[in-house]
Amino acid sequence: MSERSAHSMFEVTDLSVRYARGEAPVLRDVSLTIDRGESIALVGDSGCGKSTLALAAIRLLPKTACIRGSIVLRGDHRAMPVDILGSDERAIERVRGRRIAMVFQDPIGSLNPVMRIEKQLAEVLRVVRGASRSTARRAALESLDRVGIADPIRVGRAYPHELSGGMAQRVALALALAGEPELLIADEPTSALDGIVQAQIVELIRETQRQTNLSLLLITHDMAIAKSLANRVCVIEANRLVDDCPIDQLTASNRHAATERLIQAAEFKRSAAITLMERTP
Amino acid sequence: MWHYILKRILLTIPTFVGIVLLTFLLIHQAPGSPATGSAGGFGESGVSAADHARLRAQFELDAPIIVRFGHWMKRVVCFDFGQSFADGRPVSQRIAERLVPTLTLTFAIIAIAFAIVIPVATYAATHPGQLVDKIILAACVGFYAIPPYILGMILILLVGVALNWFPFAGLTSDDFATLSTWQKFKDVISHSALIGSCFLIPLVAYLVPFVRATMLSVLKEDFVRAAHARGLSHRRVMLCHVLPNTLRPLLTVMGLIVPAVLGGSVVLEVMFSWPGMGRLLFESIHDRDYPVIMGMTVLTAMIVLGVTLVVDLLYAWADPRVRYV
C-alpha cells in the first residue's frame, strides 16, 4: 500500500458499501488517494466492486445503500475540502460536473435520447458555467470541436442514436469536461467501443490531461488500457483493494496474484489479437 | 416524413369505409324498424297499415340495402347526413348539440387527469416501495376495479342525494335561461361534476400505475444517472430529462383514451340524464333512427382515426428514434 501523500486531492478512507442492510458488502475497507494531476487505474474483474467505488465517489449510489468510511475531495488550496458522503444534496450538486465529473461505459445510453446533442451541451454549460442562453450554443459547438469532433454543427444537430459509439463517447467527454472538473471518473470508458476507437478515446483523455491539470480515476478490467493511461494501478479483488503500485513497478516479481492474473489476461488478449491479424490475409 | 404522413392518411380511407359499411349493414339488419320505432310499437299502438306503408316509403325502407347504402354515401360525400327519422331535424344539428358538451367534458377530464396523475405518479415513482406508494397503488387498483355504473350510483346516492352537494340529472337547471353568464358556467360545471368524476376516477386509477411504472424504468436509465453526474439539479433532471421520456409512451395510451371518453359512455349518460353523445346513440338505436346512428358512426370513426393519426405523428415528433420511412 502506498503511503498517503501530503498533497493528495482525493481521499477514500476505509470505504465499505452494501446495497441493502443485511446484504453482503460490495466493498470492504477500501482506501486510496489520488494526487493532483495523477491518473489512477482501478482494475479488477467484473462484479468486484470497482464501479460501486466510482459511483460512491460522486455520490450516485442508490439512497438505500449503506455506506461507511469517508470520501474527501480536497482539490487545490483555494477550495475548501468537501466531505462527499456527509454533505447535503445541494452541496453535492455543486461538486458534480464542476469539480468531479464522470463518463460511463455506455456512451449512447448516457445521453438523453430525445434531446439534440447541442441542447444537452448547452444545458450543462448554462447550469455549470453560468453561460447565457445565447452564448451557450456557440460554447457547445466549441466544446465539441475540443473533443476532436470534425463536424460540430452536424453532430450538434444530431440525436444520440444517430451517433456512433466513439462519437457519443466524445460527446459524453465534452459534457463531463464542460465544468472544467479537477477529477474525472471514467467508468469503463472504452469497453463498449471497438479497437481503433478505443485507442482514439484513450488518446483524447490523455491529451485532455496534458492540457488541463485533470486527475483521473479510471475504472477498467483491461490492464492494457490501465497501462496506457494511468501512472498508478489499484487492483480490487473480491471487494477488497489488494494491490496499489506505480505503473513502472507492475512487472516486479512480488506482485499480488490478482495483479499477475490481470496482466496475463491483457497479454493473452494482445497475443490473440496479433495471431488473428497474422491469420487475416 | 411527408411521404409517411401521406401514406398514413391514405391508409385511413379503407379503414373508414370498412367501419361505416359494417355499421350500416348491422344496424339495417337489426330487428325493428324506424317505422315502428318512431310511431310506437307496430300492432300494439295501432299504427295503421297505410301509415306504416307511407313511413316505409318515406324512409326508403323497401329499397335493397345496397341501394340505400349508395344513396346514403352519395349524400355523405356532400356532408349531408339527412334528417333524423325521430324528429325530422337535420342529423348534423342533432349531433352538434350533443357533441359540444361531450367534447368539452372530454378535454376537461383529460386535462384534470394529467394535472393529478403527473405529480402523484412522480411522487410514487420517486418513493417506490414506501408506505405512501403502496397506498396510492392500492387505491388505484381499488378504484379501477369499481365498474363505472356502480361508481355512478355511489356518487348519486352519497354526494348527490345524501350530501346534496351536486345535482345529478341533466346538464342545466330549470331556471338556466334566467342566469347570468357566470352562473350559467357554474351551473353546467356543477351538473357535470358527478358524471365527470365517473370518467375521471377510473382514468386516473388507470394512468397513475402506468406513469409510475414508466417513470421507474426511465429513472433506472443511464442517462438519468449521467445527468445527475453532470451537476444538474434534481429538479432539472426530473423536469427536463425524466418527464419528457416518461410522457412519450403516454401518448400511445392517450390515442386509446381520447376516443373512448369522446364516444361518451352510454350507461353513465343515461344514468345521469346527461345530454352527450352516448345518450344520443342510445336514443337513436332505440328509435332505429338510422341517419343519426350512421352520422354518429361517421363522426366517431373520423375522430378515432384522426386521433390515432395525430398520436402517431406526435410520437414521431416526441421520439426522434421513431422516424418513419
pLDDT tens figures, B158-189: 888 888 888 877 787 777 777 788 888 888 88
Q: Rounded CA gap, B292 and B284, in Å?
A: 6
Is residue A177 within 8 Å of residue A143, measured between CB atoms? yes
Considering only CB atoms, A112 lies closest to which of B231, B234, B241, namely B241
Q: Are B172 and B187 in contact (CB under 8 A)?
A: yes
By C-alpha distance, which of B155, B139, B110, B106 is closest to B265?
B106
Query: Which grid coordinates are listed for B79?
Result: 356532408
In a domain, B214, yes or no: yes
B205 assigned to some structural domain:
yes
What's the CATH code of the domain at B206?
1.10.3720.10
Q: Residue B221: which domain range?
A: 91-146+194-318
Domain ranges across chain A: 1-99+220-281
Judge: A110–B231 Cβ closer than 8 Å, yes or no: no
A1-99+220-281: what CATH class?
alpha beta
Residue of B nearest to A114 (CA): B319
Measured between CA atoms, how close is A109 to chain B, in angstroms?
6
- Split into its structural domains, chain B has a count of 1
Residue B163 lies in a domain: no
> Closest chain A residue to B247 measured between Cα atoms?
A114
| Chain A: closest CA distance from residue B221 (Å) | 7
Interface predicted TM-score (ipTM):
0.87
Chain A residues with CB under 8 Å of B248 CB are: 114
Residue B74, in any domain of the structure: no
- Report the chain A residue with the minimal C-alpha distance to residue B319: A114
pTM (predicted TM-score): 0.80
Q: State whether B229 and A176 contact (CB < 8 Å).
A: yes
- B283 found inside a domain: yes
Question: For B54-111, what is each residue's pLDDT tens digit?
Answer: 777 777 777 788 888 888 888 887 878 888 877 888 888 888 888 888 888 888 998 9
Burial state string for B218-249 with b = 16 or more CB within 10 A and e = fewer than 16: bbebbbbbbbbbbbbbeebbbebbbbbbbbbb
Q: What is the pLDDT of residues A40-95, one digit of tens each?
A: 999 888 778 888 999 999 999 988 889 999 999 986 666 778 888 888 888 899 89
**Contact B87/A at CB under 8 A:** no
Q: What average pLDDT score do residues A138-151 get?
A: 90
- The answer to whether residue B324 is domain-embedded is no
- Dihedrals phi, psi of A11, to nearest 5 degrees: -130, 125
Torsional class of A158: left (φ above 0), alpha (ψ -120 to 50), beta (otherwise): beta
Residue B33 in domain: no
